[in-house]
Every structure is written in structure tokens, then in C-alpha cells.
């Protein structure tokens, strides 16, 4: 049984293409490409694999695409398990241009009530020997809004450290389950607090200050610790003791998709060994930075992550 169990309800077939330019209405031919089984939780598992830490990622698969995703994950060596449902597992496309990254995400298979009940039913056995439970990523259409909260409560009842990295209404409801750590990015945090569709705001000059404000506002709603990531600006950790600001190492990014998942993996990596949360966040930021230097989401060189760890600065707030 795995000590780290990751719920990734919305598995996907992830394709990444690198092109010389992105033109609306144009025909694009990639000069570099990658295709593999994916989803945010899969990226977390892949990042843990890079660090030599076994985990189990469990989710929902549908149709021929779902079978292909499971086959690709098996071939890669990612320890994955899923229930099959009607419909098709989603496909996601990332297009990397010279100065932009464009992402196209399908919603995933439409679930019936019985489908989600079947998924929840397999979790108790998987959590029996787990130390850390991670709820990661989006949910297929038809998933109950309290799905993340229910899984967190289930894991807490079994003594797991709980980490939640989802968004929108699922994160909003999950706050009341008091997860040990939540990790929204700044856009997701502001989206939950304002009730609006989040936008990309990490590049703003006041990103860290806004992240600190958002982290404390979310902390007041139930979780024990809140880490709001702000891309290249770093991130802010808020707990009952106050806030801590973290810088991000300077790198030449290739693909930033999946960096937040590597951050979550770093937190789980350290917390599973009972190390302090501040050290876990620093490790996660270094792993996230290393992953940005590769085209495949969730993949990085562990030696590079160790090197970048020395460049992650931290200081007590205000930021």
C-alpha cells in the first residue's frame, strides 16, 4: 500500500506542442512534442517518482481514451488506478509559443451519481496505510460540489495529512473540511474569495502582497495552512502563526504547466517524512522551478531541483 495517495478524479490525455509562432486560424507544425497520461494528480505522482518516492494516483477513466491513458501511465511506470465510466476521458492540449503558453482543456466524462459513489467506495481501502492524502485537480461534470470535502474528511478520519489543490466551488466547499494545507494559485484564490471566474494575475507587480491577503482570507475559512502560489514571484504561506514569503529561483522557462503540481509533490514529499511545513514549501518551489525547464508537465531532474533549492529565499511577512 502507498503512503501517499492522490485523488485525481479527472484523468486526461495530455499533449504538448512547441511551435515557432501561434496564429489564430493558422496551421501549426510542432518542432517538439510530448504525449502522455495526465491530470494534475498524475503530475504530482510523476514528480514524486522523480524524487524516488512511490505513490498511488486514483481517478476516473472513460472510453477508448481512458484505456489509452491507463496504458500510457502503465508504460511510464506511474502507479495509477481508476474506475471506468461511460463517456470519454478528456484530452488536453498545451501549445508553447515563443512568448506564450496556450491551453485547451476538455471537461471530462459526464458522471452519474452512481459513478461518483463507486469512486468514493474504493478510497477507504487505499487510505488504510496512507500517511498523506492529496486531492488534486478538476472534477468531471456531474461530480457533487462537496466531493473534495468528503474525500478530505474521509482521509482525516484515517489519520492522513491532507493537501487540497483544486479550485472554484470544489475548493470553496472543501475549506469547511479543514484540510491541513490548501495550495491555490493566486487566480484560483481570488476566484474563490470573489465568487468570479479567475483570471491569470500572477504576473502583476503586487502579486505577493495580493497572495498574502488572499492566503489570510482563506485561512479564516477553515484550513490549517494556506499556500498561495504566484508564479515567478514565488508564494506566500499563511498559518495561525503568521505569514512567510518565498521567492522563486530565476530560470529560463520552457513549460510552466504542471509547476504547481510539482510544488504540491514537494510539500507531500517533506510532510510524509515529518519535516516542517516551511521546508516543505521551499522544496516544492524548487521542484516547481526545475519542472518549468522541461517540456513534460510534472517531470524534472532531481539534481537540478536540489541545486535550485539553495536559491529559494524565505522571510516572515508582511510581503
Q: Is the per-residue pLDDT at 151 higher than 90? A: yes
Which H/E stretch holds residue 96? strand 90-96
Q: In the prediction, which pLDDT does 99 show?
A: 87
Percentage of the chain exceeding pLDDT 70 = 97
| Residues in CB range of 10: below 8 A, 6 or more apart | 39, 59, 60, 90, 108, 137, 138, 139, 140
Q: In the prediction, which pLDDT does 26 show?
A: 87
pLDDT digit string, tens, across residues 275-307: 999 999 999 999 999 999 999 999 999 999 999
Confidence of residue 201 (pLDDT cuts 50, 70, 90): very low
Say how far apart CA 209 and CA 120 lie, in whole Å.
38
Indicate the pTM of the whole model: 0.95
Say how far apart CA 135 and CA 115 lie, in whole Å.
18
Superfamily of domain 4-316: Ribokinase (3.40.1190.20)
Q: In the prediction, which pLDDT does 2 show?
A: 64
| Residues in CB range of 161: below 8 A, 6 or more apart | 131, 132, 133, 180, 181, 271, 272
Amino acid at each position: 500500500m502507498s503512503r501517499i495517495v492522490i485523488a485525481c478524479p479527472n484523468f486526461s490525455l495530455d499533449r504538448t506542442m512547441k511551435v515557432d509562432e501561434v496564429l489564430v486560424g493558422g496551421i501549426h507544425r510542432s518542432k517538439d512534442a510530448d504525449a502522455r497520461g495526465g491530470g494534475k494528480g498524475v503530475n504530482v505522482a510523476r514528480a514524486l517518482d522523480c524524487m524516488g518516492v512511490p505513490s498511488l494516483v486514483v481517478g476516473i477513466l472513460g472510453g477508448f481514451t481512458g484505456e489509452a491513458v491507463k496504458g500510457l501511465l502503465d508504460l511510464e511506470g506511474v502507479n495509477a488506478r481508476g474506475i471506468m465510466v461511460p463517456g470519454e476521458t478528456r484530452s488536453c492540449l498545451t501549445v508553447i509559443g515563443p512568448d506564450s503558453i496556450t491551453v485547451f482543456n476538455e471537461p471530462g466524462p459526464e458522471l452519474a451519481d452512481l459513478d461518483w459513489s463507486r469512486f468514493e467506495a474504493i478510497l477507504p481501502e487505499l487510505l488504510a496505510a496512507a500517511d498523506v492524502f492529496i486531492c488534486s485537480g478538476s472534477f468531471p461534470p456531474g461530480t457533487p460540489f462537496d466531493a473534495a470535502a468528503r474525500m478530505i474528511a474521509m482521509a482525516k478520519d484515517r489519520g492522513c495529512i491532507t493537501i487540497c489543490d483544486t479550485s472554484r466551488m470544489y475548493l470553496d466547499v472543501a475549506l469547511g473540511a479543514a484540510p491541513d494545507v490548501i495550495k491555490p494559485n493566486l487566480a484560483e484564490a481570488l476566484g474563490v474569495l470573489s465568487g468570479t471566474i479567475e483570471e491569470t494575475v500572477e504576473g502583476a507587480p503586487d502579486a505577493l502582497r495580493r497572495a498574502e491577503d488572499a492566503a489570510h482570507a482563506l485561512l479564516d475559512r477553515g484550513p490549517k495552512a494556506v499556500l498561495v502560489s504566484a508564479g515567478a514571484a514565488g508564494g506566500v504561506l499563511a498559518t495561525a502563526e503568521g505569514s512567510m514569503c518565498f521567492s522563486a529561483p530565476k530560470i529560463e522557462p520552457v513549460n510552466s504547466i504542471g509547476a504547481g503540481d510539482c510544488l504540491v509533490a514537494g510539500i507531500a514529499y517533506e510532510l510524509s517524512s515529518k519535516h516542517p511545513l516551511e521546508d516543505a514549501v521551499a522544496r516544492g518551489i524548487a521542484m516547481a522551478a526545475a519542472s518549468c525547464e522541461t517540456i513534460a508537465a510534472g517531470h524534472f531532474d532531481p539534481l537540478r531541483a536540489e541545486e535550485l533549492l539553495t536559491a529559494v529565499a524565505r522571510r516572515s511577512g508582511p510581503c
